[in-house]
Amino acid sequence: MADSQPTAAERFVNGILPENPIFRQILGTCPTLAVTNGVKAALTMAGAVAFVLVCSNLLVSLIRPLLKPHLRILVFTLTIAAFVTIADRLLAAYMYDMSKQLGPYIPLIIVNCIIIARCEICASKQGPLPALGDALGQSLGFLLALTAMASVREILGAGTWLGLTVLATKENGGWFDPWSIMLLPPGAFLVFGLLMGAVNWYSARASKPVGPA
Amino acid sequence: MDHLVSLLLLALSTAIINNFVFHYFVGICPYIGVSRRVDMAFGMGAAVTFVMGVASFLSWMVTYFVLRPGASLTAWVAGLAGADAGSMDLSILKYAVYIFVIASAVQFVEMYLRRFFPPLYKAFGVFLPLITTNCCILFACLEIGTDKRMTSGSPDFWPLDLALVYALCGGMGFALAITIMAGIREELDLCDVPKALRGPSIVLIIAGILAMAFLGFAGVDTNIGKLLGR
Amino acid sequence: MTMILLAGAVLLVLAIGAALILGWANVAFRVETDPRIDAINAVLPGANCGGCGCVGCGDYAAAVVQQGMAVNQCTVGGASVATAIGRIMGVDVKASWPQRPVVHCAATQEQRLLRAEYRGERTCAAANLVGGLQGCIYGCMGLGDCTHACAYDAIHVKDGLAVVDYLKCVGCGACVRACPRNIISMIPFKADRVLAVCCSNKDFGLEVKAVCKVGCIGCKGCERLMPDLFKIKDNLPGIDYEKYDSATDFAPVLNKCPMKRLMYVGKPTPRDLEATKDQELPKEARADFKTTVDETEWRG
Lowest mean pLDDT among A11-15, A121-125, B157-161: B157-161
Is the minimum CB–CB distance between C13 and chain B shorter than 8 Å? no
Chain A CB contacts of B199 below 8 Å = 200
Contact partners, residue B155, CB within 8 Å, separation at least 6: none
pLDDT in tens, A30-72: 888 989 988 999 999 999 999 999 999 999 999 988 887 777 7
Residues from chain A that touch B30, judged by Cβ atoms under 8 A, are: none
B59, B110, B111, best to mutate vs chain C, most C CBs in 10 Å: B111
CB contacts < 8 Å between A and B, how many?
125
Residue B201 to residue A181, Cβ atoms within 8 A: no
Residue-wise pLDDT for A91-115, tens only, equals: 999 999 988 888 889 988 988 888 8
In CATH, what number is assigned to the domain containing residue C116? 3.30.70.20
pLDDT at residue B58 in the model? 92
**CA proximity to C197, closest of C137, C259, C272, C151:** C259
Helix axes B160-188, B200-215, angle to 10 degrees: 130
pLDDT at C219 over 50: yes
- Assess if residue C10 is contained within a domain: no
Both C163 and C187 in one domain: the answer is yes
Task: Find the largest Cα–Cα distance for chain A.
Answer: 65
Q: Which residue has the higher pLDDT, C85 or B208?
A: B208
Q: Do C254 and C107 share a structural domain? A: yes
DSSP at C297: -
Residues C46 and C106 in one domain: no
Q: Which chains touch A (3+ CB pairs under 8 A)?
A: B, C
Secondary structure of residue C294 in the 3-state scheme: coil
Quick one: C129 and C194 in the same domain? yes
User: Is C63 a member of any domain?
Assistant: yes
Whether B61 has its CB under 8 Å from any CB of chain C: the answer is no
Of A26, A110, A186, which has the smallest distance from its Cβ to B215's Cβ?
A: A186
Range of the domain at C150: 99-275
| C233 vs B: CB within 8 A | no
**Cα B130 to Cα A73, A124, B106, B143, B149, distances in angstroms:** 11, 20, 10, 21, 32
Count of beta carbons in the 10 Å neighbourhood of residue B86: 11
How many angstroms away from the CA of B214 is the closest CA of chain A?
9
Is the domain of C46 the same as that of C130?
no
Question: Do residues C139 and C231 both lie within one domain?
Answer: yes
In terms of Cα–Cα distance, which of C142, C144, C192, C197 is closest to C167?
C192
What integer is the mean pLDDT of C268-293? 61
Give Cα B159 to chain centroid, integer Å: 17
Q: What is the CATH number of the domain that holds C74?
A: 1.10.15
> Is residue C1 a part of any domain in this protein?
no
Are C104 and C82 part of one and the same domain?
A: no
Do residues C122 and C264 share a domain? yes
**pLDDT tens digits along B18-72:** 999 999 999 888 888 888 888 888 888 988 999 999 999 999 888 888 887 777 7
Grade residue B86 by pLDDT with cuts at 50, 70 and 90.
low
For residue A24, give every residue at least 6 positions away whose Cβ sits within 8 Å of its Cβ, in sequence order, or none: A17, A18, A199, A203
**pLDDT tops 60 at residue A132:** yes
Higher-confidence residue: B70 or A123? A123
Q: Does any domain span residue C21?
A: no
Mean pLDDT of C227-244: 89
Please report whether residue C3 resides in a domain.
Answer: no
* ipTM of the modeled complex: 0.85
> Is the sign of the CA dihedral B93, B95, B96, B101 positive or negative?
positive
Whether C270 and C241 map to the same domain: the answer is yes
Q: Are residues C164 and C54 in the same domain?
A: no
Q: What is the pLDDT averaged over residues C55-70?
A: 81
Q: Is residue C280 part of a domain?
A: no
Q: Are residues C119 and C267 in the same domain?
A: yes
Query: What kind and span of H or E run contains A10?
Result: helix A8-14
Per-residue model confidence (pLDDT) at position A1: 37
Residue C185 has pLDDT above 70, yes or no: yes
Q: Is pLDDT of B208 > 90?
A: yes
Total domains, chain C: 2
C133 and C261: one domain?
Answer: yes
pLDDT, position C292: 47
Whether C31 and B114 lie within 8 Å, measured CB to CB: yes
| Residue C16, in any domain of the structure | no
